[in-house]
Structure 1
Amino acid sequence: MLFPFIVLGQEAPLVKSADNYIYDGNQAFDASNNVEAEKNYRRAAATGLKKDIAQYNMGTTLQQDNYVAEALSLYADAVEITKERPNKHRNFHNIGNALMQIKEYKGAVEAYKNALRNNPKDDETRYNYALAKKMLEDDDQNGDQDNNDKKDNKDNKDQDQDKKEDKGKDQEGDKEQDQKEGSDDEGENEKDNKKDDPKDQDQKEDKDKDQQQPQGNPTQLSPQQVKNLLEAMSNEEKKVQDKVNAQKVKPAGVKSKKDW
């Protein structure tokens, strides 16, 4: 479940333009007019005011339309811009949901972890975090099983090859004898074989089909995009940890020495 878009209250006239665009975008989103909603959120972001909120709302709209890669990019930008913990929590939560959607479980675990750092009490985020960890464990186990199956198949192929080689040695003497007996007819066979073989058009067509590239999927992330997201979340985690450590370290009080 996506966290809904952020609704704004009345503020000073300087930010009225951005607020109006976001309001219009929210109205369009409620009416299931996501194209119009996205346009208004983009206009709000272009003003430079409330950009984090506009990008978050735009990301939610795009994710609903399965443009996951684009939504993730907007969430990541919004996390860097916003200073408010509730907004960071919403962005990280939706990053986790988007990564779960494309089965990037490792990234999803990290995203939910960051979301919980900003709001440890959110039950939905805690549930999604547990689910992402379970999916990651299952995925790792399946990967290990696939590797074992591949190793077993390789061993079986090696055994089959050994059997073929042994059988070939046994038949080698027979083959040499057959070749000797057939040498007298070699000239005649060569004449028959000089006829051109017909081209296999079906095989060519199949090869051409194999070379065709599949169409791109808007929900697919490149390895570099996944890496960038993980690095962004790692940097955010480091910032939080540094802040916590800074609060723990307090200078010891120095007592002044009295002159008696």
Structure 2
Amino acid sequence: MKQLIIVACILLQGFALYAQQEKKYIHKGNELYMQKKYAEAEASYRRSVEKSKESVQGNFNLGDALFKQKKFDNAAQKFTDIASSSDNKAVKAQAYHNLGNSLLESKKLEESIAAYKKSLMNNPKDDETRYNLAYAMEKLKQQQQKDKDNKDKDKNKDKKDQKNKDKNQSDKDKKDQDKKDDKDKQDKDKKDQDKKDQQDQQGQQPRPDQLSKEDAERMLEALKNEEKNTQDKLKSKKAKGVKGRIVKDW
């Protein structure tokens, strides 16, 4: 029994020593924190936690030091651990409040809103948490509106791009058609010119079955001369008379 009592005394003395060292590092960390030496304060708080891993004050202050250094993900993890491991509503409320702040700084708006709501469930009278919740909800609303505007803008841009694409295609088709029409016209003009040239050549070279103007005039003149000769012959015959029978008068 004595031996057991001695062992118990030694254990109690050990716990007291660890508690003193824990408080010493927390106190030192608090001094550094007040001097805005957050990295050094973090190191001191970590040493306090090494002495007592269950230290609420040491872990809580460590989370605050991480937050001040903008190590928001690490701070969020620390406050999550505190909130989930503590049965004290006041501690849970404060841990969720700081968790909400860390998530808000990381632009994780929906998660920060959930954290603030959990904080208010444990401490409904905390006006600061209520204000932060309203702020986060307003920021989320603005972000959703911005996302909607950007989506509409992208949609309109896509429509505009498609319209320009269709217009460009239409212009290209029209240009191609114009080129085709020009080529067809050129081909037609060439064919017409070739036909005209051919007709001109045929006009310059009399066909076998056609008479030139000079030949026609010569033939007409010859006909006139022939007709004149014929008329002259007829006139000559009339002047000489026609020989008839001699009828004797018996």
User: TM-score normalised to the size of structure 2?
Assistant: 0.61
Q: Could you give the per-residue CA deviations for residues 237-257 of structure 1, whole angstroms, max 9, x where no partner exists? A: xxxxxxxxxxxxxxxxxxxxx
Structure with greater proportional helix content: 2
Q: Which of 31, 45, 48 is 1:44 aligned to? A: 48
- TM-aligned CA deviation for residue 50 of structure 1: 3.7
Structure 1 distance, partners of 2:96, 2:68, is 16
The answer to whether the aligner puts 1:154 opposite 2:158 as a matched pair is yes
Unmatched 5+ stretches in structure 1: 1-10, 180-260
- Is the counterpart of residue 142 in structure 1 residue 129 in structure 2? no
State yes or no: 1:76 paired with 2:86: no
Deviation at 1:78, TM superposition (A): 1.8
1:92 to 92, 96, 101: 96
**Which structure has the larger Rg over C-alpha atoms?**
2
On the 8 A contact 2:18/2:52 being kept in 1, the answer is: no
Structure ranking higher on relative contact order (CA contacts 8 Å, 6+ apart): 1
1:166 to partner: Cα distance: 1.3
Query: In structure 2, what is the Cα distance between the partners aligned to 1:22 and 1:91?
Result: 18
Q: Which residue of 2 aligns with 1:57?
A: 61
Q: What is the distance in 2 between the residues matched to 1:127 and 1:33?
A: 29
Question: What secondary structure does 1:32 align onto?
Answer: coil
Cα separation, partners in 2 of 1:89 and 1:177, compared to 1, 3 Å:
same
Q: Does 1:120 align with 2:124?
A: yes
Note the alpha carbon deviations across 1:219-245, whole angstroms, 9 max, x for none: xxxxxxxxxxxxxxxxxxxxxxxxxxx
Deviations 1:182-222 (A, max 9, x none): xxxxxxxxxxxxxxxxxxxxxxxxxxxxxxxxxxxxxxxxx
Give the C-alpha shift of residue 16 in structure 1: 2.3
Give the C-alpha shift of residue 174 in structure 1: 5.4
CA distance in 2, matches of 1:117, 1:31: 34
Q: 1:162 to 1:35 in 2, by over 3 A?
A: closer
Contact 2:46 2:62 in 1 (8 A): yes
Report how far residue 149 of structure 1 moved: 1.1
Measured after TM superposition, the shift of residue 93 of structure 1 is: 0.8
Contact 2:39 2:69 in 1 (8 A): no
Q: Distance in 2 between matches of 1:51 and 1:12?
A: 14
Shift of 1:52: 3.5
Kept after mapping to 2: 8 A contact 1:52/1:79: no
2:108 to 100, 104, 107: 104
Percent sequence identity is 28
Return the alpha-carbon distance in structure 1 between the equivalents of residues 54 and 31 of structure 2.
17
Q: In the TM superposition, what are the counterparts of 1:1-260 in structure 2 within 5 Å?
A: 15-173=19-177
**When the two structures are aligned, how many residues end up with a matched partner?**
169
What CA RMSD, in Å, does the superposition of the two structures yield over aligned residues?
Answer: 2.3
What whole-Å deviation, never above 9, does each CA across 1:156-182 have from its counterpart, x for those lacking one?
111111111111112225557999xxx
Q: Counterparts of 1:32 and 1:142 in 2: how far apart (Å)?
A: 36
Aligned counterpart, 1:219: none
Q: Distance in 1 between matches of 2:40 and 2:157?
A: 54
**1:83 partner SS:** coil
Which amino acid in 1 is paired with 2:115?
A: A
Unaligned runs of 5+ in 2: 1-14, 184-250
Tell me, in whole angstroms, the C-alpha distance in 1 between the residues paired with 2:101 and 2:89: 18
